[in-house]
A and B are shown apart, each in its own frame.
Chain A
Amino acid sequence: MRVIIEQAKCCGAGQCVLAAPDIFDQREDDGIVILLQENPSEESRADVLQAIKVCPALAIRLEG
């Protein structure tokens, strides 16, 4: 499973950080998404899917 983020699309709503705090964080200066784990373990799948579902900017994708 590979997580792909598009920082250019991110609007800094912080929804992904709430859904999966081990996978996503926000840059300190402008709140834009940072990917902490590009290939998270299978146990995180539900949280990543939740993050994708609630991201208002459609900035997160999952491959695999």
Chain B
Amino acid sequence: MSEFAAASCPFSGMREYPIKRANPLDPAPELAELRADEPFAKVRLWTGQDAWLVTRYDDVRKLLTDPRVSADNTLPNFPGATPGMLAVRTKYPSFITMDVPEHTQFRRMLTGEFAVKKIEALKPRIQQVVDERIDAILAKGPPSDIVRDLTLALPITMICDLLGVPYEDQDFFHAKADLITDSRTPPDVSSKAIQELCDVYIAGLIEKKNQHPTDDLLSRLVVNQLRPGHLTPIQLIGIARLLLIAGHDTSAHTMSLGILALLENPEQKRALIDDPTLINSTVEEILRYVDVTHNGRRRIATADIEMGDHVIRKGEGIIAHNAAANRDSDVFPDADKFRIHRDARHHIAFGYGVHQCLGQPLARAELQIVIGTLFRRIPSLALAAPVSSLEFKETSFVYGVERIPVTWES
């Protein structure tokens, strides 16, 4: 039994969750202790609910594909993530909180839009956006904030393109997304943000698409799904909200933290610059190493589930910790080391099971192009401030870094 496991929370004997990190690019060290000593650990959430925290790769994958494990966040005792996300759960349900077969029906309305070949065709556009951004960074000269000037801009531009959302609205919906995903946001503020984003903004956008459909994903959903009655207006708002929020924050922060990981591991950065063909394995390693969904996948058991010596009872919450699983050294040797040569393709940064991220081909394409181009065009890129001085989004549902000040030899 580790020191942490024995000593935690002397009053209730219950560990509080989420567990704070010690280093910004590593999961909390207690997660490694739990993975070794207590792979099924009971934790207490901010809501006062208890849930099982599961940290080993094989266990996480098993549970996320187990039909007795539900993603339905309206079930009693479902482990809530943030007040904002609790507030949204019944009003705008989306397919990420549905189970098979209902989930399949809704997800399939979108899977064609994110097919590998569809995304392949978007690569020239991604490259163009990245090149324009890096041109502007170079023209202005050092220093630059890589988050503001590059990594936040790219996924927002791409999701606006794809959904047919006007670029000029990005500050608005980005601010609302930040409020909804931050666990510190009071419930009334979250609810207001959700209302402004969904009832007013997205509903208005859908109405415009209904009157004048254009060549974009939202218009196609309006014409092919809403009009024939396959989707209700509320369901369409739920899908649009999910794509708008999930489509930019996660990608942006993975890029930012990936760039930070390369800058913090200069020998890895040098290896990538010397051999650009390493870009695909670099991106998989970034995804494995810097998991932005740092609070794990939330689920609930709909029947008793035996897992080795443990039984997860029907109605108990589960946090399948994909970030901890991605640091499991039984699966990824020397897992706490950032090594771009390793084969990390079986990481579960995008989750696992039928809910695995729909947008992963787009996220991969963006990451490959932005990271590859940045270090090819600015090989001398270096941090202009120590990592310890940077601000990280520890309290957000989506982990990230607020800014990355960089400099280079101009």
The complex places the Cα of A61 from the Cα of B113 at a distance, in Å, of 26
Q: How many A-B residue pairs have CB under 8 A?
A: 73
Smallest CB separation, A49 vs chain B (Å): 11
Interface on chain A toward B: helix, strand, loop, or mixed SS?
A: loop
Task: Identify A13's interface contact among B104, B108, B360, CB under 8 A.
Answer: B360
Is the pair B107, A12 in contact by a Cβ cutoff of 8 Å? yes
Closest chain-A Cβ to B57's Cβ sits at a distance in Å of 12
Chain B: number of interface residues, binned into ranges: 20 to 34
Q: With a CB–CB cut-off of 8 A, which chain B residues contact A29?
A: 112
- Residues on the A chain within 8 Å of B65, using CB: 56-58
User: Given the complex of chains A and B, what is the CA–CA distance between A53 and B61 in angstroms?
Assistant: 11
A19 and B346 alpha carbons, distance in the complex (Å)? 10
Contact of A31 among B115, B354, B356, B357 (CB under 8 A): B115
Contact partner of B107 (CB less than 8 A), chosen from A11, A14, A28, A58, is A11
Pair B108/A56 contact, Cβ less than 8 Å? no
Cβ of B345 < 8 Å from any Cβ of A? yes
- Please tell me if the beta carbons of A14 and B116 are within 8 angstroms of each other in the complex: yes
Contact: B354 with A11, CB < 8 Å?
Answer: yes
Given the known inter-chain contacts A56-B351, A56-B353, please indicate yes or no for A13 contacting B358, CB distance below 8 A. Answer: yes
**Count of residues in A whose CB is under 8 Å from the partner chain:** 23
- Give the most central of A9, A11, A19: most B CB within 10 Å: A11
- Kindly supply a per-residue 1/0 record for chain B positions 288-317, scoring 1 wherever the CB is within 8 Å of any chain A CB and 0 otherwise: 000000000000000000000000000000
Contacts A26-B116, A30-B111, A31-B111 given; does A53 touch B346 at CB 8 Å: yes
Give residues of chain B (97-156) contacting chain A, Cβ–Cβ below 8 Å.
104, 107-108, 111-117
Q: Which of A9, A11, A17, A19 contacts B356 (CB 8 A)?
A: A11
Residues of A within 8 A of B360 (CB): 13-15
Q: Report the minimum CB–CB distance from A6 to chain B (whole Å).
A: 12
Select one of B112, B116, B351 contacting A18, CB under 8 A: B116
The 7 closest A-B pairs by CB, nearest first: A12-B111, A31-B111, A56-B356, A31-B115, A14-B116, A11-B354, A26-B115
